[in-house]
């Protein structure tokens, strides 16, 4: 399928459903990848919504026994984790982002289509992984926040599955984010400068940057809990001088910026919908973009407001009070600018706009209560109470959630190619609005009346608790009815099967210039390179410009391949095996057959990875134009490396804190420095050999290229073996469960070792391509990415030598 015919028909004799599934498994089309995200996340929304109804059913009356204890805790954990990680985060940035962003940029795909498909499957599988725990003794029951030591104390493998799920999801998010960042950097229609991109593109870009910088906190937190559970040592363990609060610092370092990850894409959707349905440009485009970036930056300085009650120092708390309150300013600018966009327009009261209006009202409430929570003394009173529950549902459910539906209605005709019934859309909206208010407004009052969150039951006899909880449950039922109205709308839309026009709303951005749904190649046009504002279709109509048609026969798309899917599947099986392996804290035997899962998984993973590397992206050589003239692999890897630096940065910051506070003192007998120096020599040398190998490729000297790569891989392997030896010697005289410095040493140096393995695998993939003669001018992404990654591994090592071996 290198040359794309306008109507691709499957010649094979397979039944339609099988052909469709095979098409999805092998696709790297950003629209289908977007659909994987969208379908998964909205299904997950429904699932987690049902859990919410179960929770409200339990809380409808006092002393209820429908769902209590660990079962209730499993339910609230799955509800929270599913809504956050599998609905609100992915639906906007990954779902709409994948489907719409390349269309808005006037491009055929994202920068790295196959990585994109891999990330989507890994996302889906990380959800599968967390739910797989139900078949191995029960779901995690520690809350989506999995605080240490609660998470390390739980029997069963539920928490192990949860941690592995978060780690694989993290890999998926980072690959997705690096891909978006590279796409925005490298692929834009000619003439579209950064400042002429639609607001939604900006918000996906800002969100991707946030993920790349912040996700390290979540990775560190879940990794350290996982290490504690499997290997039995932890830098949080106060018994050996560790700090339990450090877990919360790591966790919230991600999880607060995550709130903006959950918000920014949706603010972009709100701006697009408001502009289209008011028939006006966005009000204060530049201010909107700056506000978005402002939210992203200030969002990094507010995490500790989740920790006002852990007893941090006064100064520390004051700093976070200030920035927490301050983040309301750029958020306010967004709200006012949205109002300004609507002001003076001809408002077309269709369902997408209704959801935006509902968002504006509810988000205002959420913003106000957010500033209230920034007032720390008030926070001490309502922290972990129903006031907080009401607040975050205000901003996430009636905020981002409403906008997720605004986006879904707005782009429904474009994505499905079908119209929908406004009646059912509006019914859905009104049930959601009234149901939302009825569910959550009483919860604010419950906060004032002292009801804590995450309670499976409450006693009879506290003033108004019974009444408010009952009303809240009634509201949840209305929300469920709204969900049913939405389902009816979906079914109705597909049954009527009425073809949607290309541009049903009169939208201004490029996705509306193609058919609904768009063809696999998106556009058969050359765009005018005239972009005076962020509304190209409007500007072109005024200027009388028309896109020039091109022959679809000249359009080349990536060849379909199943290996990204299989690679992700291998990781899923591996992760199940790791999750059910024996635990050290608490002492648990592994589930029988875990070694089998692990072996099958690893073999599938490695085999698929190499097959993938052996499959060229395009069947015919294709010249890519990129905005920066750097390759997509280069830009993607550059952004990915940001996240790796952040991960080591977070962990090393934790080590420095423990070391400088005197808690982590090196033992008498430390790892030998001579070995570290030999290793340094090996690694630095391998960086040079990789560099020269890459050079040889440019000069088309293939034999030295292969040799250089082989030498690099051997040097890396020797390094790794030396490190294994060093660890064995070190563990012979130190017990990391008893010695905090040893704990940090094993974690950070061990993580670096894991990076050596990953980087070495990358080099091996490039070597495999080289011996198969698949490295050339057009196909060198693997080598480019792997060599950059290898230099990163080298640089991190130099840092580690300084802080662990020399200091």
* 365-394: contacts with another protein (CB under 8 A): 365, 368, 371-372, 374-385
Q: Which of residues 270-289 bind another protein (CB under 8 A)?
A: 278-287
Q: Which of residues 146-205 bind another protein (CB under 8 A)?
A: 147, 149-150, 153
Q: By C-beta, is 130 or 633 nearer to another protein?
A: 130
For residue 452, state whether it binds another protein (rule: CB under 8 A). Answer: yes
Q: How far is the CB of 360 from another protein (least distance, A)?
A: 6
Choosing from 156, 265, 401, 447, the residue that interacts with another protein (CB under 8 A) is 447
Unique residue bearing structure tokens 């877990």: 247
Q: Any idea how long the chain is?
A: 807
Choosing from 93, 395, 437, 476, the residue that interacts with another protein (CB under 8 A) is 437
Q: Which of residues 289-318 bind another protein (CB under 8 A)?
A: 309-311, 314, 317-318
Q: How far is the CB of 532 from another protein (least distance, A)?
A: 11
Contact 253, 322 (CB under 8 A): no
Q: How far is the CB of 294 from another protein (least distance, A)?
A: 10
Contact 247, 496 (CB under 8 A): no
Q: How far is the CB of 145 from another protein (least distance, A)?
A: 8
Q: What is the distance between the alpha carbons of residues 178 and 444, in angstroms, rounded to a whole number? A: 39
Q: By C-beta, is 392 or 804 nearer to another protein?
A: 392
Query: Minimal CA–CA distance to 126: which of 63, 197, 219, 206?
Result: 219
Q: How far is the CB of 591 from another protein (least distance, A)?
A: 23
Q: Which of residues 489-548 bind another protein (CB under 8 A)?
A: 533
Q: By C-beta, is 315 or 728 nearer to another protein?
A: 315
For residue 471, state whether it binds another protein (rule: CB under 8 A). Answer: yes
Choosing from 195, 361, 494, 530, the residue that interacts with another protein (CB under 8 A) is 361
Q: Which two tokens stand for residue 34?
A: 């977007």
CA angle 437, 439, 443 (to 5 degrees): 100
Half-sphere exposure of residue 262, counting CA atoms within 13 Å on the CB side? Answer: 23
DSSP H helical ranges for 661-775: 673-698, 702-733, 740-771
Q: What is the distance between the alpha carbons of residues 568 and 604, in angstroms, rounded to a whole number? A: 9
Containing 275, the helix (H) or strand (E) segment is helix 264-278
The pattern of x and - marking residues 65 through 104 that bind another protein according to CB under 8 A reads: ---xxx--x-------------------------------
Q: How far is the CA of 23 from the CAs of 29, 518, 758, in angstroms?
A: 10, 16, 30
Q: How far is the CB of 472 from another protein (least distance, A)?
A: 11
Q: Which residues contact 663 (CB under 8 A, 6 or more apart)?
A: 241, 242, 243, 740
Choosing from 25, 293, 464, 675, the residue that interacts with another protein (CB under 8 A) is 464
Query: Minimal CA–CA distance to 495: which of 431, 420, 569?
Result: 420
Contact 148, 244 (CB under 8 A): yes
- For 555, the 3-state DSSP assignment is coil
Q: Which stretch binds another protein (CB under 8 A): 224-232, 354-362, 392-400, 592-600?
A: 354-362
Q: Which of residues 609-648 bind another protein (CB under 8 A)?
A: none
Q: Which stretch binds another protein (CB under 8 A): 25-33, 466-474, 652-660, 727-735?
A: 466-474
Q: What is the distance between the alpha carbons of residues 56 and 46, in angstroms, rounded to a whole number? A: 15
CA 2 from centroid of its chain's CA atoms: 31
Q: How far is the CB of 197 from another protein (least distance, A)?
A: 15
For residue 23, state whether it binds another protein (rule: CB under 8 A). Answer: no
How many residues of this chain bind another protein (CB under 8 A)?
102
For residue 549, the cross-strand partners are: 525
Q: How far is the CB of 397 from another protein (least distance, A)?
A: 17
Contact 657, 246 (CB under 8 A): yes
Half-sphere exposure of residue 37, counting CA atoms within 13 Å on the CB side? Answer: 33
The pattern of x and - marking residues 320 through 349 that bind another protein according to CB under 8 A reads: -xx--xx-xx--xx-xxx-xx-xxxxxxxx
């Amino acid at each position: 399928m290198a040359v794309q015919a306008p109507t691709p028909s499957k010649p094979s004799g397979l039944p339609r459903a099988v052909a469709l599934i095979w098409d999805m498994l092998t696709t790297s089309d950003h629209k289908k990848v977007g659909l994987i995200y969208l379908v998964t996340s909205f299904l997950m929304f429904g699932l987690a919504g049902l859990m919410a109804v179960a929770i409200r059913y339990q809380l409808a009356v006092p002393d209820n026994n429908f769902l209590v204890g660990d079962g209730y805790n499993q339910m609230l954990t799955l509800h929270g984790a599913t809504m956050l990680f599998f609905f609100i985060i992915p639906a906007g940035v990954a779902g709409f982002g994948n489907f719409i962003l390349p269309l808005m940029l006037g491009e055929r795909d994202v920068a790295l289509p196959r990585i994109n498909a891999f990330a989507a499957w890994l996302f889906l599988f990380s959800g599968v992984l967390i739910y797989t725990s139900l078949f191995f003794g029960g779901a995690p029951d520690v809350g989506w926040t999995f605080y240490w030591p609660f998470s390390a104390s739980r029997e069963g493998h539920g928490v192990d599955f949860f941690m592995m799920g978060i780690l694989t999801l993290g890999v998926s998010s980072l690959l997705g984010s690096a891909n978006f960042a590279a796409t925005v950097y490298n692929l834009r229609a000619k003439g579209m400068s950064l400042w002429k991109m639609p607001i939604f593109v900006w918000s996906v870009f800002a969100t991707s940057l946030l993920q790349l910088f912040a996700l390290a906190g979540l990775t560190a937190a879940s990794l350290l809990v996982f290490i504690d559970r499997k290997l039995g040592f932890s830098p949080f363990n106060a018994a050996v001088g560790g700090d339990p609060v450090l877990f919360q610092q790591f966790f919230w370092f991600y999880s607060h910026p995550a709130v903006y990850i959950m918000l920014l894409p949706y603010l972009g959707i709100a701006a697009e919908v408001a502009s289209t349905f008011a028939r006006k440009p966005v009000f204060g485009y530049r201010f909107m973009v700056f506000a978005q970036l402002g939210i992203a930056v200030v969002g990094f300085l507010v995490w500790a407001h989740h920790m006002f009650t852990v007893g941090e120092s006064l100064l520390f708390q004051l700093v976070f009070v200030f920035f927490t309150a301050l983040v309301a300013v750029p958020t306010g600018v967004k709200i006012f600018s949205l109002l300004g966009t609507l002001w003076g327009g001809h408002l077309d009261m269709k369902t997408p706009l209704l959801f935006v209006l509902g968002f504006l009202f509810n988000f205002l409430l959420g913003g106000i209560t957010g500033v209230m929570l920034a007032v720390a003394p008030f926070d001490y009173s309502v922290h972990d109470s129903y006031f907080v529950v009401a607040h975050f549902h205000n901003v996430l459910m009636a905020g981002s959630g409403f906008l997720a539906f605004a986006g879904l209605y707005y782009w429904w005709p474009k994505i499905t190619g079908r119209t929908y019934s406004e009646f059912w859309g509006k019914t859905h909206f009104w049930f959601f609005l009234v149901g939302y208010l009825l569910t959550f407004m009483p919860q604010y009052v419950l906060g004032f009346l002292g009801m804590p969150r995450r309670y499976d039951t409450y006693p009879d006899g506290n003033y108004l608790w019974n009444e408010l909880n009952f009303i809240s449950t009634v509201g949840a039922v209305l929300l469920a009815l709204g969900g049913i109205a939405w389902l009816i709308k979906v079914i109705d839309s597909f049954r009527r099967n009425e073809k949607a026009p290309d541009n049903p709303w009169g939208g201004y951005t490029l996705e509306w210039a193609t058919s609904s749904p768009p063809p696999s190649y998106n556009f058969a046009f050359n765009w005018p390179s005239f972009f005076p504002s962020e509304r190209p279709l409007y500007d072109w109509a005024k200027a009388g410009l028309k896109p020039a048609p091109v022959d679809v026969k000249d359009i080349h798309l990536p060849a379909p391949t199943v290996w990204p899917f299989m690679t992700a599947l291998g990781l899923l099986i591996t992760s199940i095996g790791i999750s059910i392996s024996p635990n050290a804290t608490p002492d648990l035997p592994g589930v029988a057959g875990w070694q089998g899962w692990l072996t099958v998984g690893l073999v599938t993973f490695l085999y698929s990875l190499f097959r993938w590397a052996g499959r060229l992206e395009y069947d015919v050589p294709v010249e890519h134009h990129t905005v920066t003239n750097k390759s997509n692999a280069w830009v993607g890897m550059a952004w990915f490396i940001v996240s790796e630096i952040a991960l080591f940065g977070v962990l090393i910051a934790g080590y420095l804190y423990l070391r400088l506070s005197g808690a982590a003192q090196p033992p008498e007998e430390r790892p030998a420095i001579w070995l570290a120096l030999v290793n340094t020599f090996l690694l630095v040398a391998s960086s040079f050999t990789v560099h020269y190998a890459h050079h040889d490729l440019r000069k088309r000297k293939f034999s030295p290229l292969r040799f250089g790569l082989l030498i690099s891989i051997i040097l890396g392997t020797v390094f790794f073996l030396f490190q294994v030896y060093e660890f064995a010697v070190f563990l012979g005289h130190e017990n990391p469960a008893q010695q905090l410095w040893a704990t940090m040493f094993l974690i950070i140096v061990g993580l670096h070792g894991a990076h050596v393995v990953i980087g070495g695998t990358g080099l091996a993939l490039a070597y495999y391509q080289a011996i198969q003669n698949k490295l050339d001018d057009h196909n060198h992404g693997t080598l480019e990415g792997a060599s950059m990654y290898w230099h990163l591994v080298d640089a991190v090592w130099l840092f580690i030598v300084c802080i662990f071996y020399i200091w």
